[in-house]
């Protein structure tokens, strides 16, 4: 279980614990990086294809149906519940779409590169910018 992230708790140890748990998994990092490049709703099945492609180092059009379905199941049962519970994405389970939230936009300012590694010193700078 992860704590729901909120701007008013940016400096709490629990906030950082949740960020580290979220970023500890490569599939979640890949999902968040992909979602940050899109500002509209992303179908979960499309996100699954992108994650499967990134994990295999192939273009998304080369992902097989089995590979996409495997990533889809992992998203549905592991990653999206955690990301949604933490507040970094909105997950519409009925429409099967995912969108970024303002908290993910804020966190993305602290992500130094596409690898998804969090620079903790940048988080402090982001907190100060947000408060001003």
DSSP letter for each residue of 79-108: IHHHHHHHTSEEEETTTTEEEE-HHHHHHH
pLDDT by residue (tens digit) across 49-105? Answer: 999 999 999 999 999 999 999 999 999 999 999 999 999 999 999 999 999 998 887
Give me Rg for the CA atoms of the chain. Answer: 15
- Non-local (6+) Cβ contacts of 16 within 8 A are 120, 123
Domain locations in the chain as residue ranges? 9-131
Q: How confident is the model at residue 118 (pLDDT cuts 50, 70, 90)?
A: very low
Q: Which helix (H) or strand (E) holds 116?
A: none
Give this prediction's pTM. 0.77
Distances (CA, A) of 52 to 1, 13, 62: 25, 33, 10
The angle subtended at Cα 39 by Cα 33 and Cα 45, nearest 5°, is 65
Q: What is the CATH number of domain 9-131?
A: 1.10.10
pLDDT average, residue stretch 28-56 = 92
């Amino acid at each position: 279980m992860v704590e729901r992230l909120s701007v008013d708790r940016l400096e709490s140890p629990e906030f950082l614990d949740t960020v580290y748990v979220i970023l500890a998994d490569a599939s979640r990092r890949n999902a968040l990086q992909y979602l940050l490049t899109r500002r509209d709703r992303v179908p979960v099945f499309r996100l699954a294809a992108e994650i499967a492609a990134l994990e295999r180092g192939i273009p998304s059009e080369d992902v097989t149906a089995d590979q996409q379905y495997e990533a889809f199941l992992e998203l549905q049962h592991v990653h999206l519940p955690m990301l949604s519970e933490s507040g970094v994405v909105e997950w519409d389970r009925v429409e099967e779409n995912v969108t970024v939230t303002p908290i993910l936009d804020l966190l993305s300012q602290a992500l130094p590169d596409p690898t998804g590694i969090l620079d903790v010193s940048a988080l402090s700078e982001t907190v100060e910018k947000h408060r001003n």
